[in-house]
Amino acid sequence: MTHPYIPNAEPGVRAEMLAAVGASSVDEFYADIPAELRLDRPLDLPAPFTAERDLVRHMKGLFDRNTDTEEALSFLGHGCYPHHVPAVCDEVNSRSEFLTAYAGEPYEDHGRFQALFEYVSMMGELLEMDVVNVPTYDGFQASGTALRMACRYTKRSKVLVTGAVSADKLSKLHDFLAPDITVELAPVAADGQMGEITLDDSYAAIYLETPNVYGVVETRGRELADLAHAHGALLVVSADPISLGVLAPPASYGADIVCGDIQSLGIHQNYGGGHAGYIATQDHEPLVAEFPSRLFGIAPTKVPGEYGFGDVFYDRTSFAVREEGKEWVGTAAALWGITAGVYLALMGPQGMKDLGETVLARTRYAMNALAGSVTVRHEGAVHFREFAIEVPDAAALLARLRERGIYGGVQLDERTVLVCVTERHTIDDIDRLAAAVQEVVQA
């Protein structure tokens, strides 16, 4: 049987094609592969499900063994967030034209160039910055690259990183900045913000996150920018763009490079497969020169008034100059950039503001609701979407909640649970969590 995915496996066609090229069998094409490297048996793989229905059945059997966050009530966040995904986002990113395209020329793939140019442009408005990259892999990569950019720009090799950062991201930074860059960690203050630091002229950058790993909104950005700048260093801020309808954009308090993850902007959780990273700067040529990622820009065409698009300053990249380029560039996360653009266009300024206000209010509501039965950390700080609670036994609490159909949060350590609340959680949901926690704690 000719496989539905392989048209020329049909024996008649195959024979005719072989005849056309004058080969007696496909083996001839493999003549350069030495016998000792040839696999002399079939691969040992499971029997296939060639019939689509059989495959569906098999996959469904696997999926039935997951219980997702629509089936349970989930307060999991910590880098992957359950915001509402507008149906139009799904519609656009499932279009065959976008989903199955490569990354062709500015002509036959004009739509992709424009959609990504629009994405970076909307991000630029949200960030109040003029240069935003075509997405890199994820926020981890964006942070790592932003710090490498700062080091290349300042020609220094030490960075001061906020302690209020996730252990996973820190692991990435350590791996990615090694071996040539030293990473120092700043303390976390009692209010949950990045704590007191001292700086000298050896640092390339201060790296801040807001909201940080505890959901705390950093309010001393201006001070840190001034401190960094006084020492010839840059302020690098990682910020979730979904907060910027209500929170001040880091550029407004002096950040030089802003970066982060855009998964919040209309992309499903996807078991961690929905991430994409952004990096933004002002239009300052020496800093722009340090981007490894592709940047898209407008170019005129032969016809006045038409917008063409192309790569800005392509010769920075490893595509152009291999190891002489800035880090590397490859297939990253363009489709999520397009999706985030759709999201921002749907939301508009008012939607982003409304969303931010709802998240702020519900986060606070949840903190108050839980404060009765557990200790809420950093209560005095402004929280966006996340906050930490302290309990006697985090694992046990989460297990008891799971029995009640609730994913209560992410365990940060033996006694700390990080709780995430978005506009997807209704007041009823939060009350249900609070009641369950109280029940478990009092039991």
Partner 1 sequence: WDEPIIFELSSPGRRGMAVPEPGAEKVELPAGVGRATPPALPEMSQLHVLRHYLRLSQENLGVDLNIDVGQGTCTMKYSPKVNDQFANAIAELHPLQHEETVQGVLEIYWRMERMLAEISGMSRVSLQPGSGSAAIYANIAMIRAYHAARGEGHRDQVITTMFSHPSNAACAKTAGYEVITLMPDANGLPDLEALRAAVGPRTAALMITNPEDTGIYNSRIKEFVDLVHEVGGLACYDQANANGILGITRARDAGFDLCHFNLHKTFSTPHACGGPAAGACGVSPDLEPFLPGPVVSFDGSSYGLETPAQTVGKIRPFLGVTPNIVRAYAWIMALGAEGLREVAETAVLNNNYLMHKVLQIPGASAPWDQRRIEQVRYSWQELSEETGVHSEEIGVRAADFGVHYWTSHHPYLVPEPFTLEPTESYSREDLDEYAAILEHVASEARRDPEFVKGAPYNQTIHKIDPTPLDDPKQWAPTWRAYVRKHLSAGG
Query: How far is 414 from 353, CA to CA, in rounded Å?
Result: 36
Shortest Å distance, C-beta 434 to its own copies: 19
Shortest Å distance, C-beta 2 to its own copies: 9
Shortest Å distance, C-beta 208 to its own copies: 31
In the region spanning residues 96 to 125, those forming contacts with its own copies, defined by CB under 8 A, are: 96
CB atoms within 10 A of CB 144: 24
Name which position in 24, 73, 114, 264 contacts partner 1 (CB under 8 A): 114
Establish if 385 lies at the interface with its own copies (CB under 8 A).
no
User: Of 197, 240, 191, 440, nearest to 359 (Cα)?
Assistant: 240
* Residues 6+ away with beta carbon under 8 Å from 49: 55, 57, 58
Name which position in 184, 190, 270, 372 contacts partner 1 (CB under 8 A): 270
Name which position in 98, 182, 371, 415 contacts partner 1 (CB under 8 A): 98
**Options 164-172, 184-192, 194-202, 386-394: segment touching partner 1 (CB under 8 A):** 164-172
- Tell me the HSE value of 402 on the side-chain side, using a 13 A CA sphere: 11
442 in Cβ contact with 377 (< 8 Å): no
Site string for partner 1, 53-72 (x = CB under 8 A): xxxx-xx-xxxxxxxxxx-x
Contact of residue 163 among its own copies, partner 1, none (CB under 5-8 Å per partner type)? none
Query: How far is 201 from 231, CA to CA, in rounded Å?
Result: 5
Q: What residue spans of 329-383 are helical by DSSP H? A: 334-371
What are the structure tokens assigned to 316, written together? 């920075």
Name which position in 301, 372, 413, 439 contacts partner 1 (CB under 8 A): 301
The values of phi and psi at residue 55, to 5°, are -65, -45
Amino acid at site 121: S
Establish if 171 lies at the interface with its own copies (CB under 8 A).
no
Residue 239 forms beta bridges with which residues?
A: 210
Site string for partner 1, 7-46 (x = CB under 8 A): xxxxxxxx-xxx-xx-x--x--xxxxxx-xxxx--xxxxx
In the region spanning residues 58 to 77, those forming contacts with its own copies, defined by CB under 8 A, are: 60, 70
Which residues contribute to the site for its own copies (CB under 8 A)?
A: 1, 4, 52-53, 56-57, 60, 70, 84, 86-87, 91, 96, 346, 350, 423-424, 426
